[in-house]
Amino acid sequence: MTQPPAPIDALFQTRRRALYALAFQRLGSAADAEDAVQDTYLKCRDVAWGSVQSPEAMLTRIHLNVIHDIRRRRRRSVELADADGSEAVCIPAAAPDPEETLLARRRLRAAQAGIDALPPVCRRVFTLCRIDGLSHADISAVTGLSRPAVEKHIVRAMQRLRRSVRD
């Protein structure tokens, strides 16, 4: 991991209150909003900022993706509270049967092995698209690749992953 350059630190500090407000508005929790801001900063450390044309747009996109991830995690859990609402406990939602879990774990291991086997540039483009949720244009800006090259890497990655999961 690399440290974000000083201008990105400055941009992050300038936008911190706005990022917090956006996260609080979408998540409804001060703790989750603060977590989202911190996670956004950590994700910014993985971006090659020198090739980003619009750092503010990239920062916002990363933040929105972090918020989306937090909301997705929430849907996977159930919150139980006492009748008076004083004690809330968050437990995982009902799990699928053991056979489904085993099959899902095998598919996940196969997918991870397939991702690990991708060439480095292809793997980076794929993870920026499918895991971080960046658009092809944003990936092009981050990596310095042309948009058609980004699309080509994503198609190749998907083909290889389908084969690795199927085999």
Continuous H helices in the chain: 6-27, 30-44, 55-75, 98-117, 120-126, 136-143, 147-166
What percent of the chain shows pLDDT beyond 90?
35
- Predicted pLDDT of residue 158: 92
Higher pLDDT, 54 or 155: 155
The yes-or-no verdict on residue 19 having pLDDT over 70 is: yes
What domains are defined for the chain?
A: 1-94 (1.10.1740.10), 95-167 (1.10.10.10)
pTM of the predicted model, to two decimals? 0.47
pLDDT, tens digit, for every residue of 140-151?
988 999 999 999
pLDDT at residue 121 tops 90: yes
pLDDT at 162 over 90: no
| Amino acid at site 7 | P
**Which residue(s) pair with 77 in the sheet?**
92
55-85 per-position pLDDT tens digit: 888 899 999 999 999 888 877 665 555 555 5
Evaluate if residue 166 carries a pLDDT over 60: yes
| Mean model confidence pLDDT for the chain | 83
For residue 26, the one-letter residue type is R
Taking the CB of residue 58, how many other CB atoms lie within 10 A of it?
A: 20
